[in-house]
Chains A and B, each alone.
Chain A
């Protein structure tokens, strides 16, 4: 065990990741030689403008990348607790399927259609829990209201359909589902986008609570520097498929090393200052 000691607190290690989209005008490299590590228990923010490759990075790590996108180089070593490390890019089929959700889970943007419109909320909890942890069948009736309560939703939401929920409620349902199996890593793709600012604040608070209560490791992808300032421990700034800066969020905000990071920080609107 002693030799794994230095990597024990690293959940995910990305080395030289390259993701390419084939188009009729040639290949476009969306992620270009990216190195990144995620420490256990931290909230890591990925910042960057639209088209910087941050969402492509998320789907590549989740193995949800669809053609014409493909991973062209690199490795992603994932170390779930109590299991041997795996290269996420090398596993397929069943091996990947059993790892999903129980170890590697996903929090999509709530304004997307991620909830199945014809299934009750409780059934969308039930199917994923029973798939990976069938022994919890007896505890479901207690577990689902508890998870909903964790994100500030009433138990009756379980009996509702997605179209009966508001955008903020949907986002919270997705948050409750993503921690249902206490995963090692949650990749959140724009969890506050398309919500109004008051709800954004509640969502950010709930995410921070989830880390406190479940000890979950979070990777939060957002174009909004305000989200990173409020929520994350470390922030990684992406620009044109590359990481330009990684560091402690306070350090980065106080003393940005890269000119692009400075521009991003300056782009946060402030009260009492005219937009230039």
Chain B
């Protein structure tokens, strides 16, 4: 500090009434920012905790992945002698299995956080596990992500109307249909769809993600093929998912319809559609926003069957193959992905909720 600095500061301080610089006073004046910061800190702790638990959990799986790898190599005549201790040690180092479990943990977390490196995949050695995952991730996000959003949106709209018109014949049919179908497993619906559209009618393909005769790329033919191949698996998810959302939205809607502010809105002579959207739905859809964020986690583990059934090259298929072959780096990587996406989705929702509902308090 030079000698000239203190007077300048004094002038500044007297110009404004009482503002003190620094993070703490600023945060006390911006409760939303303080909340966001605190919530983000919590997110980092949750992320670290969940990744740590996942790491130690998967290290407890019995079996020796290196032996499995060497057996595989031997079967493929790449390596037809007994593995020497040196070779085993080299592989162990490469897969991050040398040293005690805590050095392994530190090395794993270091590689994951600083380099985004999950270690090599066992079955696709030496391709790193993150490349294996990133290769299948777009398919999963494309198929399951879009289907989940469609199912949610459709379920909210139909469920809201079904709740609004409760007591009418159409509403009763939809409600009972939803009760019956919302707990039918995905694969069962998928099998029926495959039987009708692929087997009986021959209209749609039932396997793979695109026509193998078309080379992948951003060509209209390829995109058209992807859409066509995604239709059946997507439809099976949308159909069942939407029925669940219809049922829960209707359930949330009915008590809101008895609220005084709906009577008041009717007395105001507002148009019925406006009462439905701005008064009824606006007051009951928040739990559905939260539920949707949580359901995103099931994209990574709940729809393995759909991908298996349609031989879709997504994350579910990758996970099943990895488990069968004890490809622990890939299994852990997929788990880490699921942890990351669920926690991030819940973080975003928590930050979003105060904006959607003025009654949600984000300060202490």
* Nearest residue, chain A, Cβ from B263: A64
Contacts known (A118-B283, A118-B358, A119-B278); A97 close to B271, Cβ less than 8 A: yes
CA of A144 to CA of B283, assembled, Å: 24
In the assembled complex, B268 has its CB within 8 A of some CB on chain A:
yes
Whether the pair B358, A128 counts as a contact (CB closer than 8 A) is no
Which residues of chain A have C-beta atoms less than 8 A from B282's C-beta? 116, 118-119
CA of A132 to CA of B357, assembled, Å: 27
| A172 smallest CB distance to B (angstroms) | 15
In the assembled complex, A113 has its CB within 8 A of some CB on chain B:
yes
Binding site for B on A (CB under 8 A): 62, 64, 96-102, 105-106, 108, 112-120, 127-128, 131-132, 161, 163
Which residues of chain A have C-beta atoms less than 8 A from B274's C-beta? 127, 131
Contacts known (A106-B264, A108-B264, A127-B278); A117 close to B269, Cβ less than 8 A: no
Whether the pair B283, A113 counts as a contact (CB closer than 8 A) is no
Whether the pair A106, B279 counts as a contact (CB closer than 8 A) is no
16 contacts between A and B (CB under 8 A): A99-B269, A100-B269, A101-B267, A102-B269, A105-B267, A106-B267, A112-B260, A114-B261, A115-B264, A116-B261, A116-B279, A127-B274, A127-B278, A128-B270, A161-B358, A163-B358
Whether the pair B269, A116 counts as a contact (CB closer than 8 A) is no
In the assembled complex, B235 has its CB within 8 A of some CB on chain A:
no
Main secondary structure of the interface of A (DSSP, over half): loop
Binding site for A on B (CB under 8 A): 259-261, 263-271, 274, 278-279, 282-283, 357-359
| B124 smallest CB distance to A (angstroms) | 51
CA of A35 to CA of B309, assembled, Å: 73
| B270 smallest CB distance to A (angstroms) | 6
Contacts known (A113-B261, A116-B261, A117-B283); A64 close to B278, Cβ less than 8 A: no
CA of A64 to CA of B260, assembled, Å: 11
| A32 smallest CB distance to B (angstroms) | 24
Whether the pair B357, A131 counts as a contact (CB closer than 8 A) is no
Whether the pair A100, B268 counts as a contact (CB closer than 8 A) is yes
Which residues of chain B have C-beta atoms less than 8 A from A116's C-beta? 261, 264-265, 278-279, 282-283
* Nearest residue, chain A, Cβ from B261: A116
CA of A120 to CA of B278, assembled, Å: 12
| A66 smallest CB distance to B (angstroms) | 8
Which residues of chain B have C-beta atoms less than 8 A from A118's C-beta? 282-283, 357-359
Which residues of chain B have C-beta atoms less than 8 A from A99's C-beta? 269
Whether the pair A128, B269 counts as a contact (CB closer than 8 A) is yes
Whether the pair A108, B278 counts as a contact (CB closer than 8 A) is no
Q: Identify the interface centre among B260, B264, B266, B279: most chain A CB within 10 Å of its CB.
A: B264
CA of A31 to CA of B278, assembled, Å: 34
CA of A64 to CA of B279, assembled, Å: 17
- Picked from B264, B269, B283, B358, the residue with its CB within 8 Å of the CB of A132 is B269
| A114 smallest CB distance to B (angstroms) | 4
CA of A108 to CA of B282, assembled, Å: 22
CA of A168 to CA of B266, assembled, Å: 23
Contacts A102-B269, A118-B357 known; list 12 others, CB within 8 Å.
Answer: A64-B263, A97-B269, A97-B271, A101-B267, A112-B260, A113-B259, A116-B264, A118-B283, A119-B282, A120-B358, A163-B358, A163-B359
Which residues of chain A have C-beta atoms less than 8 A from B260's C-beta? 108, 112-114
* Nearest residue, chain B, Cβ from A114: B264
CA of A269 to CA of B265, assembled, Å: 37
Whether the pair A131, B261 counts as a contact (CB closer than 8 A) is no
| A183 smallest CB distance to B (angstroms) | 11
| A19 smallest CB distance to B (angstroms) | 16
Which residues of chain A have C-beta atoms less than 8 A from B259's C-beta? 113
| A159 smallest CB distance to B (angstroms) | 11
